[in-house]
Amino acid sequence: MRHLLPILLFLCLAASGGHCHEPIPAPAGPAPGSAASAPLDLNAASAEQLEALPGIGPALAARIVAYRDEHGPFTQVEQLDKVKGIGAQTVAKLRPSLIVQ
């Protein structure tokens, strides 16, 4: 048994390149605003938060915020289709990730 421990240690070091005790990285959590995380309030979200949503880049996020500033708070998520560049398909994709409060 005494001779087995050095052999196992050698095998461990050889197989891992000398890094037997490296921590295993934790799995990445869901992206902010994704369907798996808490829904994002469309009326309180910043442009940066909106950019984290699927299909929303910096320009579209800025247009959403500008529309909200000009027309007041959204009363329902479906009103996003009033923003230039957002259609029914995009609204349907974003719907699970957004709420209106």
Topology annotation, domain 46-101 = DNA polymerase; domain 1 (1.10.150)
Spell out the per-residue pLDDT of the chain, length 101, in tens.
566 766 766 776 666 565 555 555 554 545 544 445 789 999 999 999 999 999 999 999 999 999 999 999 999 999 999 999 999 999 999 999 999 99
What pTM does this model have?
A: 0.64
Mention every residue, 6+ apart, whose C-beta is less than 8 A from residue 9: 20
Tokens of 60: 């579209």
Q: Which residues pair with 40 in a beta bridge?
A: 98
In the chain, where do the E strands start and end? 40-41, 98-99
Q: Where are the chain's structural domains?
A: 46-101
